[in-house]
Amino acid sequence: MKKLLLFGAFLCINLINYAQTDTSNVIKGTAVDQSTLDSLGMVNPAILEKYNAGVKSLNAGNNVAAIQMFTEVILMDPQYVAAYYNRGVAQKALGKSEEAIKDFDKAIEIDENHDKSFYMKGMALLEQQDFENAANNFGKAFQINSSNEAAAYNKGVAFFQMEDYDQAIKAFDQAIAAKSDYAYAYNDRGSAKLNNDDLDGAIVDYKYAIKLDNNLSFAYNNLASAYRKKGDFAAADKYYTEAIKHKQDYYVAYNNRGLSKFEQGEYIAAIADFKKAISINAKYAYAYNNLASVYIKMEKYQEAIENCNKALEIDPEYMEAFFNRGIAKEMIKDLKGACADWEDAFILGSENAEKYINSPACTEK
């Protein structure tokens, strides 16, 4: 029975904004008229002034003012690639991903090798959960500029989200080749390997991520989860505890250590960890459901139902909580309620619930 949810693989998305102040077109000590500037292929000083003001606003986090400045630049020079790019960055920062993508596309239309626009378009698509197109854009950015390790990394993130772990691993390989001390890429490659059941490979990657940055609490948590999946509960408990030492309010690690304790039959310790997770984050539905699983094992069915109720208050479509509540209700002879919960679990996608709703207890009620 699928009762407990493991949070073992964390993705760490790095957002890198590029905003450049263009000072290359300043001629010092000489008054130069526009015809001379044009003949030299140089930027109108009025345009440059507005562009640099836009960059200054962008770097200060004043995105609305930045957009206004870059728009004025574009009106004066419709081919100004950097203005489209930086306006897109500002639009994205304001949550206007569609407008941002249009600006990045325009920059790419003018300069097909503008790797930064491909990269930032990928980031916008990643936020929209358009993972396939995000991966394509990150791939183009990295193809143009193989030193942009973040492009390869986020391509891996996109493939990971599509559950294409083989492609994710290849992308993380590229990120690591471009930046050998890329701790996040090692961590996430480990997570892809974990999902491919390459437990030893995952452990090696998580340990190397920690070696590169021993403050990565999530890497300790993920390393622990790999050991737990391998059945090495002593190592799992050790590294979950280490994760908590590095981040004392790390409710996910408390939940996962509780999971390890549960699988070892240490129910009191498991309850303590699940309750600690809830004390840190009262909206953490998984810990309530996991508590219910422990209480079912301890034959405390009313407590199990109460915790499933809390989980479902937080997430009304929490399949496992419906399933577990059905089990608890069955044990207190509430067959009608049990069958109703299993029906809901089945509708939400629980394969385990199917055999219960087809059992005589439900078909003959």
Which class in CATH covers the domain with range 285-365? mainly alpha
The percentage of the chain sitting over the pLDDT mark of 70, rounded to a whole number, equals 88
Residue whose structure tokens are 């009262």: 282
226 DSSP 8-state letter: H
Q: Flag whether pLDDT at 2 surpasses 80.
A: no
Residue range 54-102, pLDDT digits in tens = 999 999 999 999 999 999 999 999 999 999 999 999 999 999 999 999 9
Give the pLDDT confidence score for residue 22 in this predicted structure: 31
Arithmetic mean of pLDDT over the chain: 89
CA distances in angstroms from 11 to 30, 101, 134, 160, listed in the order given:
53, 23, 15, 9
SS3 content of the chain, % helix, strand, coil (to 5): 70, 0, 30
> Hey, where are the domains in the chain?
285-365
- Tell me the two tokens of residue 344: 């809901």
Q: Flag whether pLDDT at 19 surpasses 80.
A: no
pTM assigned to the model = 0.84
Alpha-carbon distance of 98 to 88, in angstroms, equals: 9
118: Cβ contacts below 8 Å, ≥ 6 apart = 104, 108, 137, 138, 140, 141, 144, 151
Question: Cβ(61)–Cβ(87) under 8 Å?
Answer: no
269: Cβ contacts below 8 Å, ≥ 6 apart = 258, 261
Residue range 114-163, pLDDT digits in tens = 999 999 999 999 999 999 999 999 999 999 999 999 999 999 999 999 99
